[in-house]
Chain A
Amino acid sequence: MSTARLKLRYRPAADALSGHVRFASHASTSVIAESPDADTKLLWSSEHLLSFQIVHAAARLVDGELPFPREVAARVALLITSAQRSPTEVDDPLTRLLTIVEANSEIALEDLRRTEWPSRPPSEPVPRSPALVANSLRVLADAIEHRAVGEEPEAIHTNHFSRLLRELSSTIGHGCGEVAPGTSAAARAASRQGVALNDSELAVVQSALHELDDPRLWPHASRSIEQLVTSLAK
């Protein structure tokens, strides 16, 4: 059975993952670059996965499947889980940021082939209004951040959450308005850490963040967020 070398590189601090496949004897004629969303880049060599880069990989893993062939996704999950369970605590932010967890393994060519998953991006673009969504998210981030916060951990979590909302706003609003499922997953995860929102407000935010993964639901998500901002201002 023909195999290739799969090299995975994960940076836990930034939750950023890269992967690269080295074929033993593979004369690649064409490389197809795919960006299914703003957080993901995939390179295919004919029908085999060649390399990939993804931000907010762990957050996305918690939320569902990563857009790789199944065997690759399983190995990525193992790497990320191992990195997160590592008992080493590093205080220096620079060291933490530069920490890399790597894994090299043999993988069958068949396991790199795209079958039904990940699905190809739709050929017809969905009409979307990124500016509106981006603005709503930014206003929500401001409103949440300016809310009175009490205990210190809640202040930190609230700041982190509002920064992720701004990152989501900026990512969606930049360029041609791609969805950012990794960033929205990270924002949902951050919202569960204990932020300055009550349960019903949190439910609205989480529902809106889910809707932002589908451009067809953006208008509804924008309205929900705007209503929430209005109620937060009262």
Chain B
Amino acid sequence: MTRLLTWSAVAALALAAGGCAAKQAGSYVERSVDFAQYRTYDWAPPDPLPAADPRLAKNAYFQDYVEGAVQRGLAGKGFGKTPAADPDLLIHYHASVTQRLAVDPSDRARGGACYDATCGVRVQEFEAGMLVLDVLDARSGRLVWRGWARHGVADILNNPERMAARIDAAVAGMLETMPSGAQLAADPAVRVREEGGRK
């Protein structure tokens, strides 16, 4: 029984994290744009939508950690934060939390037949966090890339270490599919790898 409970807990966590085989992070890209033309970026104020969750948006630790993780991630992609005016890119992020429902994993898994009292669906509510990172061309004001990552927030809101680990994973996950910028694209090895991947 203990074993079953553990198994259920793990399954519930996996579900709360966003469903069975659902992707946890991804991105949208403006395909007509060559990212190798971009070298520098700066932070800009976010759009009014989506509405940010105050537990994250007003949490200085969360904000600092996201900004740090994004800056480290973008440096790894060949973009540098510019101390001067006139950056190539402007970036901002949104952190929102929505109430989501999940069917109890054992009900999903049952699959077989049921009758009378053995039928029934247990539905759980959980809070799903979504982090969206927008990258805009500073000159045209056009959105050229948007990354996203989601995860249940119940276990991270009051746990700084877990929050930090989740943010690192979220930012790494979304940036994985981002094209490289000027500071990396000059490296012929990277160039070849990216062009190979594009085919």
Q: Do A and B come from one complex?
A: no
Chain B residues near A (Cβ < 8 Å): none
